[in-house]
Amino acid sequence: MNEETVASRLRDFERRVGFSTASLPNRTLTEAADIGRGLGMNVIELLSFAGYRHTAGELAGEYLDQLDETGLETLRELLQPFRGIGIHAPFWDVAPFSPNPVVRDAARTQLRKTLTAAGAIGANTVTTHVIPRAGREFEAYRDEVIALYRELGDVAAEAGVTLTIETIFPREIEEFAALIHGIAHPAVGANVDVGHLRGLLSEKQRRPEALAEAYNDLLRRHVLSLGERVYHMHLHDVQAEGVRDHRECGTGVIHYPALFGLLADVDYSGLFVFELEEADDAAALGRSRDVIINAMRRTVVA
């Protein structure tokens, strides 16, 4: 890869940096969107669910699958200033692999409708989680997951969006990558959440003196295992104290220039979305943007 190509890709990375509205809790969607634009964010990710909270407060969202055309048009107007739009599909209280057909069918219908609505508001991508099936090893229902995501991939393609599975389950790096590659649908890829590999650390690796090297190696392996199937990114940091994730970028151990080098090498073309849980939310979001833009500018690809 020549230097001019690398520089062009990294400049394009900067134009695709944005935030999840989960980073600005205790606000309406309109308030969060206004703050994000004020911070220079080009991309927004909306939660397609409401009534939940994380460690920093209440989360604003909209169940896209329940909106009529008027509601969708209102969202289109809100999102018009942004050049990139992500949607996070429901995952709390959702069980698309339940053996209970009523629960399972309701969850799958909601996912289909969410994908269609995401396309209707001009979104680029929709994030989902593979929800573990109670009392079963993943291998017992892996084929069911593949079949559903191939079907959902068709829905996503028709809607004009990509569909991603977020880092967290399946837990192991190799098993997660095997699932993504096994689905083998052009509309379906991975959302690499940079902090969701913490559960793979040994007790020794969790020690402050060992954490940075161990964690960045896990992240490198994760990205390389997925290659061109990395379709979306959730950005934050992992702090040594307590090995806490969803922290302000630059306050933890993640080596972002190395990560961006890997992504440039696999020709990553997706969005970069901050997903923070900080008390000083807007300020932390602004500082995170500065850290990430600077890291992109310091990236060197071999």
Over the chain, what is the mean pLDDT?
A: 96
Q: Is 252 helix (H, G, I), strand (E, B) or coil?
A: coil
Three-state DSSP class for residue 241: helix
CATH code of the domain covering residue 153: 3.20.20.150
- Asked, for residue 247, whether it belongs to a domain, the answer is yes
Residue 130 belongs to some domain of the structure = yes
Report the DSSP pairing between strands 237-239 and 244-247.
antiparallel
Give the closest residue to 85 by CA, choosing from 156, 20, 30. 20
Residue 71 has pLDDT above 60, yes or no: yes
- What stretch of H or E contains 256? helix 256-265
Give the mean model confidence (pLDDT) for residues 36-44.
97
Tokens of 106: 């309701």
User: How far is it, in rounded angstroms, from Cα 8 to Cα 143?
Assistant: 40
* Token duo for residue 121: 């508001």
The answer for residues whose C-beta is within 8 angstroms of residue 4's C-beta and 6 or more apart is: none
pLDDT at res. 64: 98
Give the list of residues 6+ apart from residue 207 with CB closer than 8 angstroms, or none. none
pLDDT at 300 over 70: no
The CA-CA-CA angle for residues 129, 232, 293, to 5°, reads 135
Which is more confidently placed, 298 or 48?
Answer: 48
d(C-alpha 239, C-alpha 287), whole Å = 16
Task: For residue 229, tell me if it sits in a domain.
Answer: yes
In the prediction, which pLDDT does 299 show?
Answer: 82
Identity (one letter) of the amino acid at 72?
Answer: L
Region 82-102 average pLDDT: 97
Domain count, the chain: 1
Q: How much is the average pLDDT of 51-69?
A: 96
**Phi/psi zone of residue 237: left (φ > 0), alpha (ψ -120 to 50 degrees), beta?**
beta
Is residue 302 a part of any domain in this protein? no
- Is residue 80 domain-resident? yes
- 124-160 pLDDT, tens digit per residue, is 999 999 999 999 999 999 999 999 999 999 999 999 9
Assigned domain for 145 exists = yes
Task: Round to whole Å and give the CA distance between 226 and 267.
Answer: 12
pLDDT band, very low/low/confident/very high, at 237 (cuts 50, 70, 90): very high
Q: Using one digit for the tens of pLDDT, what is the confidence trace for 173-230?
A: 999 999 999 999 999 999 999 999 999 999 999 999 999 999 999 999 999 999 999 9
Q: What does pTM read for this prediction?
A: 0.95
What letter represents residue 191's amino acid? N
Smallest CA-to-CA distance from 78 within 110, 46, 101 is with 46
Q: Which residues pair with 47 in a beta bridge?
A: 88
Q: Residue 11: what pLDDT? A: 78
Specify the pLDDT at position 213: 98
Give the structural domain span for 138.
Answer: 3-297
Q: How far is CA 243 from CA 18, 95, 207, 233, 276, in A?
A: 24, 29, 9, 20, 15
Binning pLDDT at 50, 70 and 90, where does residue 298 land? confident
